[in-house]
Amino acid sequence: MFVTMNRIPVKPEYAERFEEVFRTRARLVDRMPGFVRNLVLRPNNPEDPYIVLTFWESEEAFRAWTESPEFREGHARSGTLPKEAFRGPNRLETFQVVQDTEVQDG
């Protein structure tokens, strides 16, 4: 599994609007081949960045998403917040899953 982590430094006064953009997102990524799930994490410390995690079956599936018309359309909405909503540039990091444990029912 391939995971992307996007650190987005949002100014506290724009946090609610930032979260609304994700709540009302187009959901185009959800239908992409190889997409597994998406998590948006709100920092407990408002000075820390939001974290957006996206899980993919493979790096190839992620790269196909970033080169798709759906990617361009989905990210066009990210420009709905003014530049001053952010404390700096976002930082995208990528990872390969080495271990994944999860509590099983039963």
- How many angstroms separate the most distant Cα atoms in the chain? 49
**Which residue in 9, 15, 21, 11 sits closest to 51, CA to CA?**
9
pLDDT for residue 29 is more than 70: yes
The predicted structure's pLDDT at residue 105: 77
pLDDT for residue 72 is more than 90: no
CB 73 within 8 Å of CB 96: no
Domain boundaries, given as residue ranges, for the chain = 2-96
pLDDT bracket for residue 106 (50, 70, 90): low
The H-or-E segment that residue 69 falls in is helix 69-76
The tens digit of pLDDT for each residue in 79-92 reads 678 999 999 999 99
2-96 has which fold?
Alpha-Beta Plaits (3.30.70)
Instruction: Enter the pTM of the model.
Output: 0.87
